[in-house]
Structures are given as structure tokens and as C-alpha cells.
Amino acid sequence: MNHNPRLPYLLVAPSVAFLVLLFLWPLAETVLMAFVTPQGAGTTEYLRKMAGDLNFALALRNTLILVAIIVPLQVCIALGLAMMLQKVERGRMTHLYIWTIPLGISDLAAGIVWLAILTDRGYLNSVLNLLGVLDGPTAWLSIRTPIALFLCVIVAEIWRATAIVLVILVAGVQLIPKEYNEAAEVFGAGAWQRFFKITLPLLKPSLQSALILRTVLAFEVFAVVYALAGRDLPVLVGEAYNWQAQYQNTHVASAYALFILLVSIGSTLFYLRALRVRRETLS
């Protein structure tokens, strides 16, 4: 049927060339930048500079805390919402549209949106004042209230980025044949039993891709934090940005980039192993 055996290669070639130039090459370049001086000598100076930086440990800690709280919460919320959607009778499309709006909102814009709510004279404090909890403007977005600051970033991130998990899970739920659930119901399985014994195991491939995608993106958290907390809450990508834009040191910035890359790849491999998907469960 193939008229010309070279045709598929011709069709694929431009995208391969592009990805080599703008994905594989920068990848290799990141490693080179992080380990090689402009004179061409190998060095661990940049790595040591990164690790020795006061903000590094802090940024790493903050990023890990955020990822460890945000990602599991988002998966639970998205699962809950996806299950709710199954049961909603009216306005299903409207709910879906509203829940997926943040999918198109940039992290910077989401940070600013939540700044309007959480700033000291913002709407949250106005409501708290109305309820008689607060007397005057109170700052939550400062390093002096670290727990409140973390909570603010977490709420903003959950609002912004749960949609991507939701979309992947809803698409996965739609692929599960209805007969499985009906059969289980006939045999007397309750709603919870059906969820844990049928829906959840069959959702594993979707859960896996959602977790990989979301975790990689969560390690990139940056503009939301910056819009809400400024420099009070250093995160890894923010430090990479500072080394590049403020201190003009691409080498240390690349060391950060390399570090973030390795952490991302590590988490991906972890999910691939922990949620191993057997071939036959794929539809």
C-alpha cells in the first residue's frame, strides 16, 4: 500500500531534526555547561557553587515540600471530581468547562489572581474581617508566617493545575467499559468496593501518566510562587532563573537545570516502576 517507502521518513524528518536541535542538543548542552569551563576544562566548580549557595538547600526543601503536598492532593481531588462527574445528571459540560478553565491560565496569571485574594488588604482578609476573625489587614504572604505562606501557594497551585490531572483521569474513566461496574453491582459490590476493586485498578495507566506529567511540572513551580511570595520562598527553578538573569552565570544556572532534570527523571522512573502497567490492562 505504501507508494513510496521513503514517504514516512520524509514526513517525520522535520520534526526529528527540530527535536534534535531544540531538545536533545540543549539537553547535552546543559550537562556541558554545568561541567565544563569556557576554556574547555572539566570542572565540578559550578556544582559546588550551586550546592554551597545559601539558597540551594532552602530552595530544594521548599520545592520538595510543595511537590510532596500538592501532587497527591491534586490526584485525590481530581479523582473525586472525576467520580462526581460520572454521577452528575445536569450541567455536566458546564461543570467540566469551569473545572478546566485553569488549564489555559499561565502560572504567572494564576499567581496574580490569588494575590488579589490573599494580599494583606485582599478579599480573604476582608471576609475574615466581616466574620469578626480579623481586626485589620494581616500579611500572610511573608516569610514571618511560613505556614500560611506555604498554604497560600498550595491553594493557588491546586486551583491552577488540578485541571490537567482531571482531564487525563476523566478521559481514562471514559475508557473503562460500563459493563464491569454493572456486573460488580449485580454481584452486590458497594460503591466503595467498585471504586477500589474496578475503577482504580483500571485507571492505573491514566494515573501513571497524570502523575508523571504533574510531578515534572510541579518541580518547575516558579511563577506562582514568585507572584505570591516574591523572594521570600526560594524554589529550584527560581534560583536557576536568578543565577541566569541576576548573577549572569549560565554555568551555575545550568547546574540547577541539570539538577532539576535529574530529579524529574528520577520521579518519572519511580512512577514507571511503582505503577507498572501490564500490557493487557491497556485497552
Partner 1 sequence: MSAAAAPTPVAAKNNTGRFVGVMAAIVSVCWLIPVLIIAVSAFSPRDVVSAWPKALIPTEFSLSTMTFFFNVTGVWKATLNSLAVAAMTMVFALALGAPAGYALARFDFKGQNLYRVMIIMTRAFPLAILALPLVTRFIAIGLYDTLLGVALVHTALALPFAILVSSSLFMGIPRELEEAGWTLGCSRLGAFLRIVMPLALPGLAAAMIFSFVISWNEVFAASVLTLNNRTLTAFLFASLEESPLHFRFAGGFFLVVPSLIFIFVVRKYLFAMWGIANR
Least gap, CB of 141 to partner 1 (angstroms): 12
* C-alpha–C-alpha distance, residues 259 and 262, integer Å: 5
Alpha-carbon separation of residue 49 from 35, 42, 54, 137, 234 (angstroms) = 12, 15, 10, 40, 17
C-alpha cell at 87: 454521577
* One residue of 55, 129, 142, 145 binding partner 1 per CB under 8 A: 129
Least gap, CB of 261 to partner 1 (angstroms): 6
For the segment 7-36, give every residue that binds partner 1 (CB under 8 A): 7-9, 11-12, 14-16, 18-19, 22-23, 26-27, 29-30, 32-33
* One residue of 62, 63, 181, 206 binding partner 1 per CB under 8 A: 206
Least gap, CB of 66 to partner 1 (angstroms): 15
For the segment 214-273, give every residue that binds partner 1 (CB under 8 A): 216-217, 219-220, 222-223, 226-227, 230, 237, 240-241, 244-245, 250, 253-254, 257, 260-261, 264-265, 268
Nearer to partner 1, 63 or 198 (CB): 63
Nearer to partner 1, 36 or 148 (CB): 36
**41 is a contact residue toward partner 1 (CB under 8 A):** no
CA-closest candidate to residue 230, choices 143, 158, 159, 156: 143
DSSP result, 36-101: B-TTS-B-SHHHHHHHHSHHHHHHHHHHHHHHHHHHHHHHHHHHHHHHHHHH--S-HHHHHHHHHG
Q: Are 133 and 99 in contact (CB under 8 A)?
A: no
DSSP result, 50-63: HHHSHHHHHHHHHH
For the segment 63-122, give every residue that binds partner 1 (CB under 8 A): 81, 84-85, 87-91, 93-109, 111-117, 119, 121-122
For the segment 146-185, give every residue that binds partner 1 (CB under 8 A): 159, 164, 167-168, 170-172, 174-175
- DSSP 3-state assignment of 133? coil
Nearer to partner 1, 1 or 54 (CB): 1
Least gap, CB of 137 to partner 1 (angstroms): 5
Nearer to partner 1, 4 or 147 (CB): 4
Least gap, CB of 211 to partner 1 (angstroms): 11
**Torsion 95-101-107-111 (CA) sign:** negative
What are the helix and strand counts (H, E) for the chain? 15, 0
